[in-house]
Structure 1
Amino acid sequence: MFEFKNLVIDNFGKAGKKVILKLDIKNHTIEIYDVLPDSETLYFLANFFEIFDPKFSENIISKIINSNNLNDVLNAMKKAWDLDDVLYDENNFEIEFSNNTFYFPIYSKTAGSLGTVILKGNLNSEFIINFLAISDAITSILEGFILKMRVSELLYSTLEALSKALTKKINVDEKLQKEIENKIINLGEKFNIPKDILKIASKIYDLGKIGIPDYVFSKKELSKEDLEILNKHVEYGYEILSKIEDIPDQILKAVLYHHEKKDGSGPLKVKDVPLLAQIIGIVLEVVENKTPIDALQGKYDEKLIEGMKKNG
């Protein structure tokens, strides 16, 4: 319910008791009670006061829909409305407008409260009403990205636990492993691979080694048969990870092909090697195997070789 002057619009059948938002528009004080009215009612209110701005929503919905992740959505909102900042707080669930800052809670019918979007800038009551008039559409889009982010965080935690189990099994040099992870992430970012993908891939590319017998790792020198067994780890890793719902295909292919080379000299003899797999492979060659970069000509994309020369 909201009221102003002597007019009361009750969209819920009965008047609320708690004022959750108070706005001043053209010398009228609007009080919104208990829960927000629907967008249709707010749209009516914006038109009633002749403050509805069609340009406010123009292009913003399409820009948000075409975003890749939650940060892209927040940046699109910031740019479209010329705000100082747009943030997301997963722990705050209260609606509030004060000191040029608007806290707008995101609520999902299936998942419940999902946190709050915080808009900062030269805000006024007209902005808030226009925002609320299209808030149903914005909420629906934000809900999808927030839930996707939470799934990604859960996936990362699960894979990180598996990575730690692998580290204990094969007695990895943690300092060397950290260097490898950092170089994979740094090189990958230069080729516009999302950081969340790189963080996961850099930790679990060798996950399939969990399925390799312990005696292989205890040997100082490996026989031809031992190498054949060890090379199976890429297939084991692919099989393990492919059973995890929502894991990106980009990561699956990186795990399967990270020992492949463009000249077909890898264990699987594949020549069409995905970029992320090549990034992991070239970092392993240079950092772990101490292979001179110039010796890798023809085995990896030239741009990756140049990238390693500049930042290796």
Structure 2
Amino acid sequence: MLYKNTKRIKEDISVLGIGCWNFGGDWETSDERSADRIIRTAVDLGINLFDVAPVYGWFQAEKILGQTLKDANLRDKVIVASKCGLTWGDDHVTANDLSKENLFKEIDGSLLRLQTDYIDIWQLHWPDHNTPIEETCEALSEIKKSGKIKYIGLSNFAQKDMVKFDQLVGVDVQQSLYNMFERNATSYHNIPLEYKTEQEVLPNVKKYGQAFLPYSPLFQGLLTGRFSKNKNLSKSDIRNENPKLSGDKLEIYLDGYEKLEEFSKEIGHPTNEIVINWLRQIPEVTSIIGGVSSVKQLKKNIDALRWDLNENEIERINEIIEPFRLMP
């Protein structure tokens, strides 16, 4: 396994992390037993970053991660990154709430579900424009002083707001949507994004010495060959809610994937390895947050770290994906 650290986080972070969204049952290929095996195997293979959130599976992903870490006595060997700021009712309709009252409530809830007394990286999941930034920062400062969190992160935030958060409380980590086909995307699952990753986030990550955790690195499976023009997902799969994975938009992305697949055959490495390798060579990328549905898939992703793209290969890839650089 390869590791990185940053000016803000001196601890070694594995360049591959595990995104735990599918552990909560929102994807068709997930169950508690497979999640347990994935977590244990990932740590055995050197992965130490696990990214989760209360909303993943409506608390279930945090519970599963926490239980496995406890049962396997792994808590001190990993970096747990969780999130806060999304609330919901019985109808599972989410709302953004970064109020001081809610953050105090959420930190204790996450600690209980994760069965730990601290969270390494606590990230604000989405912006809340109804709560003053000063109020949110006051809560973050108090929670950090209490020892319940070590590092503060922002996920999906406009960079002008990031600068203000950094001035008030310090931002150690940024997380945003980033993959070969979504480099400066303006939406995610019909949610408008207030940033452009390649144009805005990456320069600031470098400037401020922050860790950067790109999510959806494999475009929810599209960049592994998981999708066809018929898509073939179960009705309960959360990816059905992503408009980019259906209709005319899907066809555009599939055409791009076919070109990458041709290139992968040319150089003799699977497409998923090329995608991970391309992300890994970007200096600002600290750890690639990808979900995996099996130990087999986990090992395939790790295989991407056993070789490097050369300059000519990177140039060829960039030519293939150039049409997607400004895709919304």
- TM-score bin (small chain): under 0.3
TM-score (norm 2): 0.22
State which structure, 1 or 2, has the greater radius of gyration over its C-alpha atoms.
1
TM normalised by structure 1 equals 0.23
Higher relative contact order (Cα pairs below 8 Å, separated by 6+ residues): 2
